[in-house]
Amino acid sequence: MQNLLKEVTYKTIKNCKKKEIVLPGEYSKSFEKHANEIGLDLENDAIVLKDLHQDENKLNFIVQETNSNLQSLGTSAKNAEIAIQNKDDKALRMVQNEVSSMQEKINFLQKELFTDSLTKAKNRKWFEDFYIKEDKFPNNGFLAFIDLDRFKQINDTHGHLVGDQVLRYLSEFLKKELTLEGISIIRFAGDEFIVLFDNSTLTEKKVENLLKSTQEKLSKLKLKSKTIDNLTFSFSYGLVSFKTNDSLEVILCDADEKMYKNKQLRKES
Q: Domain limits of the chain?
A: 2-37, 45-113, 122-268
Q: What b/e sequence results for 166-197 when a residue is b if at least 16 CB atoms lie within 10 Å of its CB, and e otherwise?
A: bbebbbebbbeebeeeebbbbbbbbbbbbbbb
pLDDT at 200: 76
Could you tell me what percent of the chain has a pLDDT over 90? 36
pLDDT at 159: 83
Gap between the Cα atoms of 260 and 269, Å rounded: 14
Judge whether residue 52 has pLDDT over 70.
Answer: no
7 vs 248, which has greater pLDDT?
248
208 vs 72, which has greater pLDDT?
208
Instruction: Say how many C-beta atoms besides its own lie within 10 A of residue 79's C-beta.
Output: 16
Backbone angles phi, psi at 204, to 5 degrees: -65, -35
pLDDT in tens, 116-174: 888 999 998 889 888 999 999 999 999 999 999 988 888 888 888 888 889 999 999 99
- Architecture of the domain defined by 122-268: 2-Layer Sandwich (3.30)
Which helix (H) or strand (E) is 240 found in, with range? strand 235-242
32 vs 25, which has greater pLDDT?
32
Angle between helices 45-86 and 2-16 (to 10 degrees): 100
The pLDDT mean for the chain works out to 80
Kindly report the pTM of this predicted structure: 0.66
Q: In 87-159, where does DSSP find H-type helix?
A: 89-113, 124-125, 151-158
Judge whether residue 176 has pLDDT over 70.
Answer: yes
- The segment with the largest mean pLDDT, out of 68-72, 86-90, 240-244, is 240-244
pLDDT at 190: 85
Beta bridge partners of 236: 147
DSSP assignment letter at 180: S
Judge whether residue 86 has pLDDT over 60.
Answer: yes
pLDDT at 244: 94
Q: What is the mean pLDDT of residues 223-248?
A: 88
pLDDT at 184: 95
Closest to 116 measured CA to CA, from 40, 210, 184, 31: 184
Angle between helices 160-177 and 204-219 (to 10 degrees): 140
Gap between the Cα atoms of 30 and 48, Å rounded: 18
User: Are 224 and 112 contacting, i.e. CB atoms less than 8 angstroms apart?
Assistant: no
Distances (CA, A) of 179 to 111, 124, 209: 20, 21, 13
Gap between the Cα atoms of 221 and 182, Å rounded: 26
pLDDT at 73: 63
71 vs 146, which has greater pLDDT?
146
